[in-house]
Amino acid sequence: MSEYVLLYRSSPEVHAAHMGNAEKAAQSMVQWRAWLKEMTDKGQLKDAGLPLERTGKVVSGTAKTVTDGPYIESKEVIGGFSIIEARDAAEAARIAAGCPVLRGGGSVEVRPVRKFEP
C-alpha cells in the first residue's frame, strides 16, 4: 500500500454554490462526512486532513517576493486535503472519484507521497 494526497480544488463560484451560506455548508458537510466515513470504514483514510482558507501568500524566487495568493494566475484554489492509502494510483483515483467536490464541478488532484529518508 502507498500513500496519496488528495488535493481538493474548486473555483470561487463552485465554492460559493456549495458553501456560500449556512444551509448550503451544512448540506455539503453531510456529504463530506459520509464520504470520509466510507473511506475510514474501508481502511483507506489515513488522515482526513484539514480545510484551508481561500486566501494566503506566495513567497517565490531568490528575492523571496511575497504576493497575495494562494495562486493569482489560477482559476481554482486548493480548499483542503486528505491522505489516503491505496494499492496504486489507479485505485487512489477511483477513491477520489467519490469526492463531493466533484458534484459541483470542482476537481481532486491525486498525488503520490514520496518516501522521505533524511
Model confidence band, residue 88 (pLDDT cutoffs 50, 70, 90): very high
Return the number of other C-beta atoms located less than 10 Å from residue 79's C-beta: 19
pLDDT of residue 72: 52
Over the stretch 45-64, which tens digit does the pLDDT of each residue have? 999 999 888 888 888 889 99
Over the stretch 17-28, which tens digit does the pLDDT of each residue have? 878 788 988 999
Model confidence band, residue 31 (pLDDT cutoffs 50, 70, 90): very high
CATH number for the domain running over 2-112: 3.30.70.1060
pLDDT of residue 93: 97
For range 96-113, the mean pLDDT: 94
For range 77-90, the mean pLDDT: 94
Query: Does residue 73 surpass a pLDDT of 80?
Result: no
Domain ranges of the chain: 2-112
3-state DSSP helix/strand/coil % of the chain, to nearest 5: 35, 35, 30
Query: Does residue 70 surpass a pLDDT of 80?
Result: no
Long-range contacts of 72-76 (CB under 8 A, 24+ apart): 75/11, 76/9, 76/10, 76/11, 76/106, 76/107
